[in-house]
Amino acid sequence: MRFDGISPAAREQACAALARRAQMAGPAPVVRFLDCGTRMVRLICHSAAFLRHVERQMTCALREDAPGFDATLVIWQERSVAEAALAVVRVLDGTSYRRLRVGRLTGLAGAEAVQVFDEELLRHWPLLDIQPGDGSLSAFAPERDTYYYAVEDLDPEEFIKRGHIFVQLLFRICNVPGSSLAHGAVVGLNGAGVLLCAFGYRGKSTLSVHALLDGFEYVSDDYLILGRKEDGTERDILRAWPVYSVIALSPHAYQAMYDGFRGKFLSNNARKDKYMFNIACYHEQFRRGYPVRLCMFPNICDCVEPSIEPGSRERALEELAFSTLNNTGNPRDAVTIGKLYEFVRDLPFYRFDLSRNIARNTRCLREFMEQLSAI
């Protein structure tokens, strides 16, 4: 069920209905803050179980307090997303509400999704999206820069099927001029970072996590914030910030790193092809506002020895932009594609042909970065 052209007053009433459901979900809320580098998010949590997921996945970004905030995110465990849909539709359209209500009472209607769009305020995404079949809901009140997010099932194995927590919401919150959440990895040496641009299953997580174990400076293996933020000495430098303390490794990669790896197991991601770990034990190697000096796109091949050569700017940009949008939003989002292009267009680009030997790949990257530092 789609609604367009809803008045601001009706949208506010719909969000107020969700806020009331959040307040009924548990005791007095816990307030925390998510430091996303370019944006600070106030987190209002009405569920202790939900907060535990946030603590495990976003350990490096979670703060007890902050001097201010840019947006608010309200989260709770929803008892019934279908009932939440009815409560919202009752506010938005009484006729539709009566039809849905009668259908539910007579057993003729299944759980119907409810979406509210206003492309003048938010292109590509609904302002409100309630999915009873998925057991989740999200909403955005633009007048107050407040976001709402709830799920029914907080069982760890079920919850983690959704992937990294808040990815799509953080993409919206951080997608402001000069900033964006991106799908990529950043590691580096001596204050010089390399942005690994790649779709999934291209080896960027394995490479970046093994580099972390080898003493590299680290931002992320999967999702991060990219932005330009001036400081007292360097202006207009592309920088990267971590938001997650979780990584995903294939069983093969985990076995290869087993002896030296200290991360805490979280889940097999309910797919059997990836293991998820919390790596808060490595926080001393995490870097915030880390300068990005070059881009690479990894390419898994059957070579005996890995190699790094000048690469295609177009391919790296394509993999960065479309892997980001495929995971966070609409692949036709030309504004974000253009922003990511502006971020990295002046950086040198390289192709990194990865061998099947993880240690050799990391050694190759170290030697390459050390040579660059010496120039």
pLDDT at 306: 95
pLDDT, residue 239, reads 96
CB 240 within 8 A of CB 292: yes
Tell me if 299 sits within 8 A of 353, measured CB to CB: yes
pLDDT value at residue 151? 96
Look-up of token digits 């609904």: 126
Rounded to whole angstroms, the Cα distance separating 61 from 220 reads 12
| Residue 58 φ then ψ, to 5° | -120, 40
Q: How far apart are CA 362 and CA 188, in angstroms?
A: 11
**What pLDDT is stored for residue 373 in this prediction?**
79
Q: What's the whole-model pTM score?
A: 0.91
Listed in sequence order, the DSSP H helices in the chain are: 8-24, 48-57, 81-92, 94-106, 156-159, 167-174, 204-213, 251-257, 313-328, 334-344, 358-374
Question: Between β-strands 275-278 and 223-228, what pairing exists: parallel, antiparallel or unpaired?
Answer: unpaired
Task: Name which of 67, 68, 1, 35 is nearest 225 in CA terms.
Answer: 35
10-residue stretch averages of pLDDT, the chain, 375 residues long: 87 93 91 97 96 96 97 96 89 73 56 83 83 93 94 88 90 92 95 90 90 97 87 71 94 91 84 85 97 93 92 87 84 84 92 94 96 79
Question: How many residues in total does the chain contain?
Answer: 375
- In this predicted structure, what is the pLDDT of residue 365? 97
What pLDDT, on a 0 to 100 scale, did the predictor assign at position 105?
Answer: 56
Q: What's the pLDDT at 240? A: 97
Q: Are 194 and 188 in contact (CB under 8 A)?
A: yes
Mind giving me the DSSP string for 13-49? HHHHHHHHHHHHTSSSPEEEEEE-SS-EEEEEES-HH
Query: From CA 227, how far away is CA 237, in angstroms rounded?
Result: 8
Q: What is the C-alpha to C-alpha distance for residues 143 and 283, in angstroms, rounded to an integer?
A: 36
Whether residue 112 contacts residue 3, with contact meaning beta carbons closer than 8 Å, is answered with no
Rounded CA-CA distance 330/62 in Å is: 28
| Residue whose C-alpha is closest to residue 15's, from 133, 104, 137 | 137
**Is 193 within 8 Å of 290 (Cβ atoms)?**
yes
Considering only CA atoms, which of 97, 161, 173 is closest in space to residue 135?
Answer: 161
Amino acid at 227: G
User: What pLDDT is stored for residue 232 in this prediction?
Assistant: 46
Q: How far is CA 181 from the centre of its chain?
A: 7
- The strand pairing partners of 35, in sequence order, are 40
Residue 235: predicted pLDDT: 56
Nearest 5°: CA angle at 8, between 31 and 326? 65
239, 290 Cβ separation under 8 angstroms: yes
pLDDT value of residue 17: 94
| Per-position DSSP letters for 122-133, written without gaps between them | SSSS-SEEEETT
The dihedral through the CA atoms of 68, 338, 165, 193 has a sign that is negative
Residue 263: C-alpha distances to residues 57, 259, 267, 279 (Å): 12, 11, 12, 5
- Tens digits of residue pLDDT in 36-95: 999 999 999 999 999 999 999 999 999 999 999 999 999 999 999 989 988 898 888 877
pLDDT digits (tens, 9 = 90+) for 78-97: 999 989 988 898 888 877 76
Structure tokens at 341: 């292009």
Sign of CA dihedral 74, 334, 178, 220: positive
Question: Tokens for 289?
Answer: 């506002």
Q: Which residue stretches of 129-240 are H helix?
A: 156-159, 167-174, 204-213
- All domains in the chain, ordered by first residue: 2-171 (no CATH), 179-374 (3.40.50.300)
